[in-house]
Amino acid sequence: MSVGSPVVIRPERAGDEPAVRRVLDDAFAGPEEGQLVGRLRANGDVVLSLVALDDGRIVGYVAWPRLWIQTPRDQYKAIAMAPLAVDPSHQRRGIGSALTREGLARLRALGESIVFVLGDPVYYRRFGFTVEAAAGYVSSYAGAHFMALKLNEGAQSEGRVQYPAAFDAA
């Protein structure tokens, strides 16, 4: 990050894909997350995706795909947070946090009720995600790294968390 050029966060737009792919490949040291994003985009599963720019260059990315909470009677909308990535040369400067906080604010404004994430609780609890908030849901990802954050009181409180098919091939 150069002095005097604050990082800009904005929604992803057409044409960003190659730069986003580079950030994903470099941050995760492999193609899997970039391939996942390709499948999510192709299937129309992405509710929100943001990029972080430093001096006009994309150095961070986060996607928020649609999830569903299934109950025997109904299904309810939810959101996943995946993947989150910051270019290795720009990590630990607050960019991942800025992407996360901006995304959560936008999702709240959109009326979304609950966000699930799979990751390191040490990192995600600073945004309000907890393992406890996810404990009432059934999921193949359930465990010590499966967290949730309720954005409003209307969140469905139990059921099976269904990830989109794009995650199956991951």
Q: Name the residues that contact ligand COA, by CB under 6 A.
A: 27-28, 83-86, 91-97, 119-120, 122-123
The closest residue (CB) to ligand COA is 96
Give the nearer residue to ligand COA in terms of CB position, either 28 or 68.
28
Shortest distance in whole angstroms from residue 154 CB to ligand COA: 26
Residue whose CB is less far from ligand COA, 83 or 159: 83
Smallest distance from the beta carbon of 119 to ligand COA, in angstroms?
3
Q: Of 87, 86, 143, 89, whose CA–CA distance to 116 is shortest?
A: 143
Specify the length of the chain in residues.
Answer: 170
Nearer to ligand COA, 28 or 76 (CB): 28
User: Token digits for 111?
Assistant: 């009326």
**CB-based burial, 85-104: b 16+ in 10 Å, e otherwise:** bbbeebeebebbebbbebbb
Which one, 100 or 113, has the nearer CB to ligand COA? Answer: 100
Distance in Å, CB of 123 to ligand COA, minimum = 4
Rg over CA atoms, the chain: 16
Question: Which token pair is 82?
Answer: 């995946």
Locate all alpha helices (DSSP H) within 9-94, ordered by sequence.
17-28, 32-42
Q: How far is the CB of 113 from ligand COA (least distance, A)?
A: 21
